[in-house]
Amino acid sequence: MTTTQAGIEGFATEDRRFDPPAELAASANVREDAYATAAADRLSFWEEQARRLQWAQPWDTALDWQPPFAKWFVGGKLNVAVNCLDRHVDAGNGDRIALHWVGEPEDDTRDLTYRELLRQVSRTAHALTELGVQAGDRVCIYLPMVPEAVISMLACARIGAAHSVVFGGFSAQALVDRITDADAKVVITADGGYRRGAASALKPAVDEAVKRCPSVTAVVVVKRTGQDVDWVEGRDHWWADVVDRQPQSHQAEAFDAEQPLFLLYTSGTTGKPKGILHTSGGYLVQTAYTHWAVFDLKPETDVYWCTADVGWVTGHSYLTYGPLANGCTQVMYEGTPDAGGRDRWWKIIETYGVTILYTAPTAIRTFMKWGEELPGAHDLSSLRVLGSVGEPINPEAWMWYRRVIGGDRCPIVDTWWQTETGAMMIAPLPGVSSCKPGSAMGPLPGISLDVVDGEGTSVGEVGGGFLTLDEPWPAMLRGIWGDEQRYRDTYWSRFEGRYFAGDGAKWDSDHVLWLLGRVDDVMNVSGHRISTTEVESALVSHPSVAEAAVVGATDPTTGQAIVAFVTVKGSVADDISSGEAFAQELRDHVATQIGPIAKPKQIHITPELPKTRSGKIMRRLLKDVAENRELGDVTTLADPTVVNAISARASSQPAGGSPQD
């Protein structure tokens, strides 16, 4: 069966294509000719998009490409925050709502216009300067989904400091690693935030971390919940004390197009997270263009909602920079989808008249489980474009999203990209593409990619292999912070002269592209990227653990679930009377080392791990066990009897806790 007939999971996709309604095709921001225009002269195409922004000094050269190092819009100067705020106020749109902020507790909302957001960002920029932050410094942001997160990011951008946002679900240890690697001077945090109906704490993790981070001279604390906090005089400052008294206007300096804008740490195939470096001009050009093109954004009338947390790249590019550069109105929601009822999202869409929704397949699958009565009870007719990101969307979820949420009238844009790519790379265009359920369709105008085989040879128009990018793009990472060699090794060494994304992909017989998931040791759990090695290192750091092997097993809701196989040290093996109590202890240990998002869903305590004669752990077999499959070829095992022991243990153990608790 070909992909065209059956999709990737035996699902008939051909007769379920979504063709753009005539009205949308006629009114869309981007038409089909964009592909040809961009292909004819890629650099002119990106220069054209760059003119959508406000430059204090125009660039001399669109691209300086010394593989694998790119500089875009060389010689150009701009201020990213001015592009996201002042520009819109100056154009007479100061009274437009920038953020409809929705707190988790019901009725806890705040609307901020562009004018008000500019004032807040200006004050915060002054406050950071007063605290000693200068252009080129790094500021760590560890906040819940409150407006101050966006304000802090833009204030850093305004003064030319790079932010490093750390997701609030990461532990104190993860914070230490990230603050130390970035050598951050200031940490911006909150007393806590609201999640699942209760106030959770953030400041204690910062207190614990900063003790071990001598680079940090000041901690700024947003009062969100009013809970008690420990206080270090001289180091800690309430946000209201340092920000509110500052002048509300701020003269912004223009910075080089290649001024670092942010670092964002992400998991790779080794234990140590990588600080992905993004710079200013090219990044803003591509995030603004793709946000406008892929969502067919009409800033005057649309109400856009991206449900991602600012701790991930989606929250950077499609909550902070892209939407604000485009001057649109958006919703920002603090809490979980079930806070105040499992129809909370649908209530928000109804209340604010959301027109564009951008979310992850894992959320859609969760809503499918909760039943279509919940969205069905709300008026979702304002919606006109639906987006998906973070992992492959299975055709069933795509169809449900289209029918139940989009009322069969909204195009679905499945967008493939990465922390490293900075902005969308593969996605349909809503007014142009005839979308197949579950496919991201093809590269966006101005993007060049190639699917190659193991030798790096292009598979051509039809066929599967490894996804590579064979031309630089404006929002591409500029490197891994402090580790040039790792940048070369990780992305540019597998295939000569090409960026290797780590994903498998396949062109079907219509030359439509299907993303097939990671081909390396990176797991994708609820759209969050977690390295198997990182979780293994966390497990092995527990005093009772001898060895650990971690695999991502297919999970119907979260895409993948973390499954760990652990052997314990001989001296303690006899003391572990209850496997489940010990497994829980290990889960908590992983939460302390990395964060609750990295907790294994299942932990199997086994007498031995399956290894080859050369001592390599055979993960493929463990994956078979974790997914309850017949075991594949075991002939290369040093001791084939090991697998019997593991499978017996695996099937007799309970599944364990939720990965998200």
Residues 475-504, one symbol each (x = binds ligand WT7 by CB under 6 A, - = not), give --------------------------xxx-
Q: Is the distance from CB of 216 to CB of 186 less than 8 angstroms?
A: yes
Q: Dig out the tokens for 133 from the structure.
A: 């932050």
- CA distance linking residue 315 with residue 64, whole number of Å: 28
C-alpha R_g of the chain: 24
| Binding of residue 418 to ligand WT7 (CB under 6 A) | yes
Size of the site for ligand WT7 (CB under 6 A): 23
Q: Among 72, 416, 491, 499, which residue sits at the site for ligand WT7 (rule: CB under 6 A)?
A: 416
For the CB of residue 264, give the shortest distance to ligand WT7 in the complex, in Å: 9
Q: Among 391, 450, 508, 534, which residue sits at the site for ligand WT7 (rule: CB under 6 A)?
A: 391
Q: Which of 175, 178, 187, 193 is nearest to 236 (CA)?
A: 187
Please state at what angle helix 281-294 crosses helix 42-50, rounded to 10 degrees. Answer: 90
Name the residue type at position 467.
Answer: L
Q: Among 97, 98, 263, 313, which residue sits at the site for ligand WT7 (rule: CB under 6 A)?
A: 313
Classify 230 as helix, strand or coil.
coil
| Binding of residue 518 to ligand WT7 (CB under 6 A) | yes
| Binding of residue 365 to ligand WT7 (CB under 6 A) | no
274 DSSP β-pair partners = 266
For the CB of residue 312, give the shortest distance to ligand WT7 in the complex, in Å: 6
Q: Burial-class residue 66 by CB neighbours within 10 Å (0-12, 13-18, 19+).
A: exposed
Q: Dig out the tokens for 78 from the structure.
A: 């701009």
For the segment 519-538, give every residue that binds ligand WT7 (CB under 6 A). Answer: 524, 527, 529
Q: Burial-class residue 460 by CB neighbours within 10 Å (0-12, 13-18, 19+).
A: exposed
Classify 124 as helix, strand or coil.
helix
Residue closer to ligand WT7 by CB (options 156, 513) is: 513
For the CB of residue 382, give the shortest distance to ligand WT7 in the complex, in Å: 24
Residue closer to ligand WT7 by CB (options 444, 586) is: 444
| Binding of residue 94 to ligand WT7 (CB under 6 A) | no
| Binding of residue 291 to ligand WT7 (CB under 6 A) | no
Would you mind telling me the total number of residues written for the chain in this entry?
Answer: 661
- CA distance linking residue 253 with residue 77, whole number of Å: 9
- In order, the DSSP letters of 232-282 are -TTTEEEHHHHHTTS-S---PPPEETTSEEEEEEE--SSSSPEEEEEESHH
Q: Dig out the tokens for 391 from the structure.
A: 């992992």
Binding piece for ligand WT7, criterion CB under 6 A, among 34-42, 75-83, 413-421, 582-590? 413-421
| Binding of residue 314 to ligand WT7 (CB under 6 A) | yes
| Binding of residue 414 to ligand WT7 (CB under 6 A) | yes
For the CB of residue 408, give the shortest distance to ligand WT7 in the complex, in Å: 21
Contacts for 536 with CB less than 8 Å, ≥ 6 apart? 271, 548, 549, 550, 564
| Binding of residue 631 to ligand WT7 (CB under 6 A) | no
Residue closer to ligand WT7 by CB (options 323, 656) is: 323
| Binding of residue 87 to ligand WT7 (CB under 6 A) | no
**What b/e readout covers 413-435, taking b as 16+ CB neighbours within 10 angstroms?**
bbbbbbbbbbbbbbbbbbbbbeb
Q: Is the distance from CB of 325 to CB of 83 less than 8 angstroms?
A: yes
Residue closer to ligand WT7 by CB (options 330, 531) is: 531
| Binding of residue 322 to ligand WT7 (CB under 6 A) | no
| Binding of residue 419 to ligand WT7 (CB under 6 A) | yes
Q: Among 275, 390, 443, 465, which residue sits at the site for ligand WT7 (rule: CB under 6 A)?
A: 390
For the CB of residue 468, give the shortest distance to ligand WT7 in the complex, in Å: 12
Residue closer to ligand WT7 by CB (options 535, 605) is: 535
| Binding of residue 389 to ligand WT7 (CB under 6 A) | yes
Residue closer to ligand WT7 by CB (options 416, 565) is: 416
Contacts for 90 with CB less than 8 Å, ≥ 6 apart? none
Distances (CA, A) of 113 to 86, 104, 160, 284, 349: 12, 21, 24, 21, 19
Residue closer to ligand WT7 by CB (options 159, 469) is: 469
- CA distance linking residue 35 with residue 306, whole number of Å: 26
Binding piece for ligand WT7, criterion CB under 6 A, among 47-55, 60-68, 417-425, 469-477? 417-425
Residues 429-468, one symbol each (x = binds ligand WT7 by CB under 6 A, - = not), give -----------x----------------------------
For 289-391, list the strands marked E by DSSP: 303-306, 329-333, 356-359, 385-389
464 DSSP β-pair partners = 506
For the segment 133-172, give every residue that binds ligand WT7 (CB under 6 A). Answer: none
For the CB of residue 418, give the shortest distance to ligand WT7 in the complex, in Å: 4
Q: Which residues of the shown chain bind ligand WT7 in the complex (CB under 6 A)? A: 266, 313-314, 389-392, 414-419, 440, 501-503, 515, 517-518, 524, 527, 529
